[in-house]
C-alpha cells in the first residue's frame, strides 16, 4: 500500500503518460514557447500536413473513446458530421462544464496544460473543417478560463488561429465561453442551447448536433480529456496508443483516474485503462484513512451505481464495470467508509440531481424530488416500508426511455446501487423509525 502521495505523471515518460508527462518538467505549462519546447503543437503541424480525411482515419484507428462519461468513439462521432458544402460555419465545441460531483480531472488539465487542450481542438477542427470553436467552461473555473484565454492570444500571435493558418486554406477561430452553472449543460444539446443564449434544456434528437447543432449548423462536442489525447496520437500513431493498455483492457490509451473521500491521498493519476480499483485506491490513493474500512464506491462520479467493497479488484474499464452493474463514467472514484450511512449518502446525491433538473419532463421534474422526500423520511426516522418500494419503483419509472434525456436515469444509478447492495440499511432505518415504534406500542396496549 502506498505510504506517500504519487505524482499524476508517473515517471514523466511521454511514451507512457502522454497526457501529463510535461508536468514532470514544470509545475504547469501555460506559456506557448514552453509548451512548444516540450513537443507542443508538433502533432498539430503533422495533422495539417495531411488531408483531413487521413487524420480522421488515424483517430478512428486509435479508437479514441470519449472521456466525458459516455465513452463513444470520437472518430465514429466525427464521421457522422455532415460533409462540408461551404454553405456556412461549422462548429467545434469543448464540453468543459465539469459539474459531475466527485470529478475534477478537466480542471487540472485546463489550469496546468491549457495549450494541450487547444492543440487537440486545432487537430479536431482541421479534421472536421470547422470554422469556429468554443470552450464551454464551468463558470466557477475562473482561473482555468483565464489561462485558456491567455493561451489563445499566445497562439494567435504565432499564426495558429485566424485565416490561412500556417499557409493552408483553412481558417479557424476559438473562444472561451463561461457557463452559468447548470449541471444539465453536460448534456451536449443543453450545452448548445445555453451557448446560443437559450434556456439549457436538452433538444429532441434527431437531428443530432453533427447535422444541426449550434445555430442549426453541423457541430461536434467532445470532452476536455478527449481532445487532450489527440496531440500525442498524431505524434506517435494509433498503434502506439492502442498498445498503452495492451494486456489490461480492450479500451485503448490511458485515463486520468482519481479518488476522493476518506482515502489518505485524494488525487489524480494517469494510468492505463484496465487498472483495477484496488490499485487506484490502495497503491495510488494510499488506502482508506487509519481506522476506516471501505464499504462502497462510485466508479466514475455521482451518476454511476454504487459498488461494494467486494468489487474492488475489478479492472477500471467500460466492459468490466458494466458487467458488475455500474458505469465507468469519468473514472474518478468516490469512496464510502463503513461509518457512513448509505441512506444519507444517497439522499445527498439525489438532492443534487433534483436541484439540477431542467424541469422539462414530468418524470424527472416530479420524480426526483419524490425520491428525495422518501430518502429524507427514511433518514430522519420517519420512513415506512412502502417508501423503499416507492424508491425501487422510481428506479424503473425514471429509467432510460422514460425521460426526455439521461439526467434522471443518471440520478437513479446511485440509488439503484444503494438498494441493490445495501438495502438492509434502508430496512433497518425503517424498522427503527418512529411510526414503526408507535405501531408497536399500540399493539402492546
pLDDT of residue 89: 97
Q: How many domains does the chain have?
A: 3
User: E strands of 237-300, at which residues?
Assistant: 254-260, 267-272, 294-298
The CATH number linked to 261 is: 3.10.20.600
**What is the span of the domain harbouring residue 350?**
342-435
From 209, 242, 275, the end of a domain falls on 242
Q: Are residues 429 and 383 in the same domain?
A: yes
Q: Position of cell 462548429?
A: 91
Q: Are residues 93 and 132 in the same domain?
A: yes
Q: What percent of the chain has pLDDT over 90?
A: 90
Residue 422: pLDDT over 80: yes
C-alpha dist (Å) from residue 298 to 309, 326, 394, 415? 11, 8, 20, 11
pLDDT in tens, 93-145: 999 999 989 899 999 999 999 999 999 999 999 999 999 999 999 999 999 99
The mean predicted confidence, pLDDT, of the chain is 94
Q: Are residues 187 and 271 in the same domain?
A: no
From 284, 309, 337, the end of a domain falls on 337
Of 161 and 182, the structure prediction assigns the larger pLDDT to 161
pLDDT of residue 298: 97
Residues counted in the chain: 445
Average pLDDT, stretch 366-373?
97
Residue 445: pLDDT over 50: no
pLDDT in tens, 293-313: 999 999 999 999 999 999 999
The CATH number linked to 346 is: 1.20.1440.230
Q: What percent of the chain has pLDDT over 70?
A: 98
Q: Are residues 46 and 131 in the same domain?
A: yes
pLDDT in tens, 236-282: 999 999 999 988 998 999 999 999 999 999 999 999 999 999 999 99
SS (H, E, C) 48-97: CCCCHHHHHHHHHHHCCECCCCCCCEHHHHHHCCCCCCCCCCCEEEEEEC
Global pTM? 0.94
Residue 153: pLDDT over 80: yes
Q: Are residues 83 and 174 in the same domain?
A: yes
* HSE-up of residue 1 (Cα within 13 Å, Cβ side): 12
Residue 371: pLDDT over 60: yes
The alpha helices in 324-384, defined as continuous H runs, are 342-356, 362-379
From 242, 272, 307, the end of a domain falls on 242
**Residue 15 placed within a domain:** no
Average pLDDT, stretch 153-170?
95
* HSE-up of residue 445 (Cα within 13 Å, Cβ side): 6
- Residue 404 grid coordinates: 426526455
**Residue 70 placed within a domain:** yes
Amino acid at each position: 500500500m502506498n505510504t506517500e502521495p504519487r505524482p499524476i505523471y508517473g515517471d514523466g515518460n511521454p511514451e507512457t503518460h502522454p497526457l501529463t508527462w510535461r508536468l514532470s518538467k514544470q509545475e504547469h505549462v501555460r506559456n506557448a514557447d514552453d509548451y512548444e519546447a516540450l513537443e507542443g503543437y508538433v502533432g498539430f503541424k503533422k495533422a495539417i500536413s495531411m488531408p483531413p480525411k487521413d487524420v480522421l482515419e488515424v483517430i478512428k484507428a486509435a479508437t479514441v473513446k470519449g472521456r466525458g462519461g459516455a465513452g463513444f468513439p470520437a472518430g465514429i462521432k466525427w464521421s457522422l458530421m455532415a460533409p462540408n458544402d461551404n454553405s456556412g460555419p461549422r462548429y467545434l465545441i469543448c464540453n468543459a462544464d465539469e459539474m459531475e460531483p466527485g470529478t475534477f480531472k478537466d480542471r487540472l488539465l485546463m489550469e496546468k496544460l491549457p495549450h494541450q487542450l487547444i492543440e487537440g481542438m486545432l487537430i479536431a477542427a482541421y479534421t472536421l473543417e470547422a470554422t469556429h470553436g468554443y470552450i464551454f467552461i464551468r463558470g466557477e473555473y475562473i482561473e482555468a478560463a483565464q489561462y485558456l484565454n491567455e493561451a489563445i492570444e499566445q497562439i494567435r500571435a504565432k499564426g495558429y488561429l485566424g485565416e490561412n493558418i500556417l499557409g493552408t486554406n483553412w481558417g479557424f477561430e476559438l473562444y472561451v465561453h463561461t457557463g452559468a452553472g447548470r449541471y444539465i449543460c453536460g448534456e451536449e444539446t443543453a450545452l448548445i442551447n445555453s451557448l446560443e443564449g437559450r434556456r439549457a434544456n436538452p433538444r429532441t434528437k434527431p437531428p443530432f448536433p453533427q447535422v444541426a447543432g449550434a445555430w442549426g449548423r453541423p457541430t461536434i462536442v467532445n470532452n476536455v480529456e478527449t481532445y487532450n489525447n489527440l496531440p500525442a496520437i498524431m505524434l506517435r500513431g494509433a498503434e502506439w496508443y492502442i498498445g498503452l493498455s495492451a494486456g489490461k483492457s480492450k479500451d485503448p490509451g490511458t485515463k486520468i483516474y482519481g479518488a476522493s473521500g476518506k482515502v489518505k491521498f485524494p488525487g489524480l493519476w494517469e494510468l492505463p485503462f484496465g487498472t483495477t480499483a484496488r490499485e487506484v485506491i490502495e497503491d495510488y490513493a494510499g488506502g482508506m484513512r487509519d481506522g476506516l474500512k471501505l464499504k462502497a464506491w462510485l466508479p466514475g462520479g455521482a451518476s454511476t451505481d454504487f459498488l461494494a467493497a467486494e468489487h474492488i479488484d475489478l479492472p477500471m474499464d467500460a466492459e468490466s464495470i458494466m458487467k458488475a452493474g455500474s458505469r465507468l463514467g469519468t473514472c474518478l472514484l468516490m469512496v464510502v467508509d463503513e461509518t457512513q450511512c448509505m441512506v444519507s449518502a444517497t439522499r445527498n446525491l439525489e438532492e443534487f440531481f433534483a436541484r439540477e433538473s431542467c424541469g422539462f419532463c414530468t418524470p424527472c421534474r416530479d420524480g426526483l424530488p419524490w425520491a428525495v422526500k422518501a430518502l429524507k423520511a427514511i433518514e430522519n426516522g420517519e420512513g415506512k416500508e412502502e417508501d423503499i418500494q416507492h424508491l425501487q419503483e422510481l428506479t424503473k419509472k425514471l429509467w432510460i426511455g422514460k425521460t426526455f434525456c439521461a439526467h434522471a436515469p443518471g440520478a437513479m444509478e446511485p440509488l439503484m446501487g444503494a438498494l441493490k447492495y445495501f438495502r438492509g440499511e434502508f430496512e433497518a432505518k425503517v424498522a427503527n423509525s418512529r411510526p414503526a415504534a408507535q405501531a408497536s406500542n399500540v399493539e402492546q396496549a
